[in-house]
Amino acid sequence: MTRLIIGAMVRAIGAYPSGWRVSGAHRDPRGDAAVLRRAAEVAEAARLDYLFFGDWLATGHDLEFRDPYLVARIDPISAITYLAGITSRIGLIATANTSYADPYSLARATASIDLLSGGRAGLNLVTGAEPRAAGNHGQDFHAANEHRYDRVVEFEHVLRRLWDSFEDDAIVADAATGVFLDPGKLHATDFHGAHLSVTGPLNVARPVQGHLPIVHAGTSPRSRLFAAQSADLALVAVNGLEHAVAIREELRSLAFESGRDDRTLKVIAPVLPIVGETRGHAQSIADELSELVQIAEDWPDGPPAAFPAKRSLAQLTALVGVDVSELSPDRAVTPSLVAGFSAAGQELVDIVAERTGRSPSGERPPTLRHLVVAASVNASMVVGTAVEIAEEFEAWGDAGAVDGFNVLSAVQPAQFEAFALGVVPELQRRGVLPTEYEGETLREHLGLGRPDNVHVTRDDVSFRTVTGRDGVGLRTVERSPRHP
Ligand SMILES: Cc1cc2nc3c(=O)[nH]c(=O)nc-3n(C[C@H](O)[C@H](O)[C@H](O)COP(=O)(O)O)c2cc1C
């Protein structure tokens, strides 16, 4: 039994393309405040470690079909500020895109939320994958991956420096002597790098947590190195348990090689559980979700230009190796059709059977639509009862695949509550998650210590170039003690 970190990745209209279409689902972003409030109350009562909010710096018609929750939603810093005032124990993590954010403003906002929430704020630093963000921030183009990662390395360093502006006891506030501030304990930032230049000091007291826990989400070799050297939580995309074990091992050995205690890096995977009262009930929910996803053939004259190209019978044809492009999407996938499929096609049929309970030889065979959706909607689903899902989570923890999960909910509020009220107590019964909050701050929930102030320890940080595992020259940070 391994203690897991369990947070919820909150997407107010659901984290599956058709989740908002299910009966009773929240579907109007103008009503997000009530959904966020309810989710926070339920999650805190269940004792989840944190609520997590992603970010996206542009919108467009294409997102309606791909990730509808990205079309219109509350800014994550605003969401956690709102929730800080109506919760008292749960951690609150917001995503910021360092390719466009201003470090002084972000350090100021996040230190403020940490103080306002009693040390419950966290920050997910991403470099962003949306090119349209450039046009919204006065830039001609979205910078290349290497450039964005060079910038995030400086950004993380500057944030920590800004949060360290005030030593913990810098504010004396001695009414008798009239001394408010010990000026020797307020420090300039004075960072002037290739991408960022910040004088400091920050005009907010040191955060309750010293430094907010830093999450990093990404997939590239630069992302791995950055997470290993600088993040407290690495949020990684995984494709099955063995892949997760390999990624976690890689991250932890990179952390170790960079001179860090690798146990302080927690590896978290996103997961989308579909929870039902019985396995068949859960499968029927997954089945309905699949059937409600639109595919290209739903428009007889062709889908809108913004429609995802891969969600079509033409793309399915390429995968299964049998020409299904002229068939109806509602055509049953029978054993004789499957007999001609490629190995990848057969595997897809197995995935659909596992998720929806539909098998080619059964009474309700899957349709081609089910296969298109399973092949094109990228979601790490686990479908079953609360007990089965808790078992799966526990198995991943015991196998060393993850330190925890960011739980997505396909339908708000129904699936969010089915997880919080059904799966969480089951995880607690197994000892995978405590029944009470044991600490006050998010760092304490995550099992992380409070960092010292750099101006007290006199650690220095210098920038240098090292060679990454992929042989590419990487610009990164080296931490070395500076002697008084
Ligand atoms: C699980 C996960 C969640 C992510 N969430 C966000 C997000 O909310 N906003 C965002 O701009 N990028 C997000 N990203 C994308 C990464 O930040 C990154 O910009 C993108 O993957 C490109 O960098 P890479 O090549 O290192 O992966 C996420 C990535 C992963 C793996």
**Residues 215-250 pLDDT 10s:** 999 999 999 999 999 999 999 999 999 999 999 999
* pTM beyond cutoff 0.90: yes
Q: Where in the chain is the domain with CATH 3.20.20.30?
A: 5-272+385-481
> Which residue, by CA, sits nearest to atom 21 of ligand 1?
218
Centre of ligand 1 from the C-alpha of residue 98, in Å = 11
Is 220 within any annotated ligand binding site? yes
Task: Label residues 89-115 b or e (16+ Cβ within 10 Å = b).
Answer: bbbbbbbbbbbbbebbebbbbbbbbbb
pLDDT at position 377 is: 93
Is 55 within any annotated ligand binding site? yes
Is 467 within any annotated ligand binding site? no
Please report, for residues 157, 363, 392, 445, the alpha-carbon distance to residue 430 in angstroms, rounded to integers and kept in the order given: 39, 37, 12, 18
Q: 465 or 343: which carries more pLDDT confidence?
A: 343
Cα gap 289→274, rounded to integer Å: 10
- pLDDT for residue 465 is more than 90: no
Q: What is the pLDDT of residues 418-436, one digit of tens each?
A: 999 999 999 999 999 999 9
Q: What is the mean pLDDT of residues 102-113?
A: 98
Q: Are 326 and 315 in contact (CB under 8 A)?
A: no
Closest ligand 1 atom to Cα of 216: 17
pLDDT at position 459 is: 65
- pLDDT for residue 470 is more than 50: no
Centre of ligand 1 from the C-alpha of residue 129, in Å = 6
- pLDDT for residue 199 is more than 70: yes
Residue 461 pLDDT level (bands cut at 50, 70, 90):
low
The DSSP secondary-structure symbol of 133 reads: G
Domain 5-272+385-481 has CATH 3.20.20.30: yes
Centre of ligand 1 from the C-alpha of residue 127, in Å = 7
Taking residue 146's Cβ as centre, other Cβ atoms within 10 Å add up to 14
Centre of ligand 1 from the C-alpha of residue 99, in Å = 12
Q: What is the pLDDT of residues 268-307, one digit of tens each?
A: 999 999 999 999 999 999 999 999 999 999 999 999 999 9
Amino acid occupying residue 460: D
